[in-house]
Structures are given as C-alpha cells and as structure tokens.
C-alpha cells in the first residue's frame, strides 16, 4: 500500500518551543496538515537523562502514529540530539530532527569557521551539534553554552522584560567576546528571544534558526518521498494540538505566536502510549 500523501505531519516538542518550528511549517508548507504534541507535563527535557528522553520520544511517536502521520518532525533540540538516532530506526515513516538542519545552515553561514551553539544542558553536553558540524567541515571549531533560564523566561512571557537582558549578558558575555561569526539558536524556545540576542551580540553575528531550516528540510523530504499534499483547495491546512498537561496555558501561548488561532487543544495521558 502506498503512503497517504494527504495524511498529517506529526510534530513534537517538550512543550511550547516546537511551535516555532510549527510556525515555519505553516508559513512554508501551507498545504500540510499538522498534528502537534507538546509534552507540557514533563517539560523541561533539557535537564533529563538520555534514557528518559528516548522513552518520552518513543511514547510520543506511538501517540502520533495513532493519528496516522506520514512523517515526524522532532521539533526539540534536546530530543533531536539525544533520541533521533535511536527512534528513527524503530519506525517505518521518516523522522527528522532540528539539529542536522541547524548544523548545516551554520556550516554554510560561517566565514571564519568559528561557531557558537546555545541550548539546553542536555543538548550542549551531548556535543551533537559539534559532532555533526565537524563531520560536515573538520576545520570548524565550536563553542557551546547551556542557557537553561531562557526557557522559563520565554514561557513566562518575559521576552521583552529587562531582567532577560541581564540573563542574556550572564550567559552570552563569553560568546560576545569570542571570535565566533555564527551562533546557533539550539533550543526551540530561543527564536522567541532572537531580537534580544541579536541586539546583544551585534549584527555582525549570523544567528542561525534551526526552526526555519527544519521546515525547509521537511519540504525537501516530502518532495523526495513523493508525499507532498497537493489535495488542498481551501484556505489552509488543519492543525491539531495535543498536550500532556495545562491545555489552556498552551493554547494561550500558541495563539500569541502562531499565524492562525488554535481553537482546541486536547489533553491526553502520554504515559498510556
Ligand atoms: N524545546 C527544548 C529544546 O529545544 C527546550 C525545552 C526543554 O528543556 O524541554 O531543546
């Protein structure tokens, strides 16, 4: 049996961060239906062990498969860095993450081959961005910095607050005085602090947003596998949102950053999968 090309794409994250990837999918693949899962009960993943991140990712993939998805995007840097290699072997649909697209874009953007990566503790400690980028170009040198407080600042709506400037200075001072010419926003929450980080780092630094690059990778993948949904004639595709906790808070946040308002966010028990 062939693949149902009208089936939705599954997208998941530890919480709201993956909405920055969903936003890019909505913008650049407007014909694709999306089923999103945010693991709001178990966020943050950035401080969890590899074993748990793999276990969570497996459960979410099983849940998304019950929705008949044709492909899955792991819209979380932490799960992409720690679980993608394992879980993509276990299913018969394509699974992509955000790390490879982000790494490729940074290697392309850098001129002096000095790249910074910011992300969660688990992402930075995994060294996955460094490994992938040095495989693409062995001359690249990489500095990593975990910025765990950026996640709650974004989730609490502090993106424009002055306290966020102090935290940015605390985390990124050493990046600013380093010789990097490109900086990867290696956590799906960070594009929501993009302008603050850009103001701080200066406009000579190229900020790489893996969310956009991932949407472009998905576009290529669907084309390559002959899975593009060209059956839509209406205004836009359908978007369904599921979370493991606090659906109302998620919906409010989603409606503040997505181009279309979410009508319903459904809570499910992810431990059942
Ligand atoms: N969305 C996660 C990521 O991109 C960050 C939040 C978390 O720690 O779960 O790594």
What pLDDT, on a 0 to 100 scale, did the predictor assign at position 236?
76
Q: Which of 64, 76, 83, 84 is catalytic?
A: 76
% of the chain residues with pLDDT over 90: 92
CA of 17 relative to ligand 1 center, distance in Å: 7
Q: What atom in ligand 1 is closest to the CA of residue 14?
A: 9
Q: Is the CB of 209 under 6 A from ligand 1?
A: no
Q: How many residues does the chain have?
A: 273
pLDDT (tens digit, 9 = 90+) per residue, 28-65?
A: 999 999 999 999 999 999 999 999 999 999 999 999 99
Q: Is the CB of 100 under 6 A from ligand 1?
A: no
Burial string for 172-190 (b: 16+ CB within 10 Å, else e) reads beebeeeebbbbbbbbbbb
pLDDT, mean over the chain = 95
> pLDDT band for position 89 (50/70/90)?
very high
CA of 66 relative to ligand 1 center, distance in Å: 24
Which of 16, 18, 41, 46 has most ligand 1 atoms within 8 Å of CB, for mutation? 46
| 76 among known catalytic residues | yes
User: Token digits for 141?
Assistant: 């040198």
Spell out the alpha helix ranges (H) of the chain: 19-28, 50-66, 77-82, 84-87, 99-109, 121-126, 128-136, 150-155, 162-176, 194-201, 210-224, 247-257
> pLDDT band for position 232 (50/70/90)?
confident
- For residue 162, cis peptide bond before it (omega within 30 degrees of 0): no
Predicted confidence (pLDDT) at residue 1 exceeds the cutoff of 60 = no
| 147 among known catalytic residues | no
Biggest CA–CA distance in the chain, Å, is 56
Q: What is the mean pLDDT of residues 6-11?
A: 97
Q: Which of 75, 172, 187, 207 is catalytic?
A: 187
CA of 214 relative to ligand 1 center, distance in Å: 15
pLDDT (tens digit, 9 = 90+) per residue, 202-230?
A: 999 999 999 999 999 999 999 999 999 98
> pLDDT band for position 156 (50/70/90)?
confident
> Which backbone phi and psi does 270 adopt, to 5 degrees?
-70, -20
Measured at the CA of 15, the angle between CA 52 and CA 107, to 5 degrees, comes to 80
Q: What is the mean pLDDT of residues 122-141?
A: 98
Which of 48, 84, 187, 244 has most ligand 1 atoms within 8 Å of CB, for mutation? 187
Atom 6 (ligand 1): residue with closest C-alpha?
Answer: 44
């Amino acid at each position: 049996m062939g693949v149902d090309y009208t089936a939705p794409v599954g997208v998941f994250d530890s919480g709201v961060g993956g909405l920055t990837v969903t936003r890019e999918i909505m913008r650049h693949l407007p014909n694709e239906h999306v089923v999103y899962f945010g693991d709001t009960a178990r966020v943050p993943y950035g401080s969890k062990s590899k074993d748990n991140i793999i276990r969570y990712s497996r459960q979410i993939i099983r849940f998304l498969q019950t929705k008949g998805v044709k492909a899955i995007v792991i819209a979380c840097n932490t799960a992409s860095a720690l679980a993608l290699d394992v879980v993509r072997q276990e299913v018969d649909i394509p699974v992509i993450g955000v790390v490879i697209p982000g790494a490729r874009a940074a290697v392309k953007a850098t001129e002096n081959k000095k790249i910074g990566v910011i992300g969660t503790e688990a992402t930075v400690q995994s060294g996955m961005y460094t490994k992938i980028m040095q495989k693409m170009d062995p001359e690249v040198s990489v500095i990593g910095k975990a910025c765990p407080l950026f996640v709650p600042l974004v989730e609490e709506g502090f993106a424009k607050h002055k306290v966020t400037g102090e935290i940015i200075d605390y985390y990124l001072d050493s990046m600013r005085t380093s010789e990097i010419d490109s900086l990867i926003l290696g956590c799906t929450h960070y594009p929501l602090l993009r302008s603050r980080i850009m103001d701080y780092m200066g406009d000579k630094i190229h900020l790489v947003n893996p969310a956009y690059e991932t949407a472009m990778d998905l576009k290529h993948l669907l084309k390559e596998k002959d899975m593009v949904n060209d059956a839509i004639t209406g205004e836009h595709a359908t978007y369904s949102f599921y979370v493991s906790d606090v659906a109302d808070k998620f919906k409010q946040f989603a409606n503040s950053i997505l181009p279309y308002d979410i009508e319903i966010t459904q809570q499910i028990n992810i431990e059942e999968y």
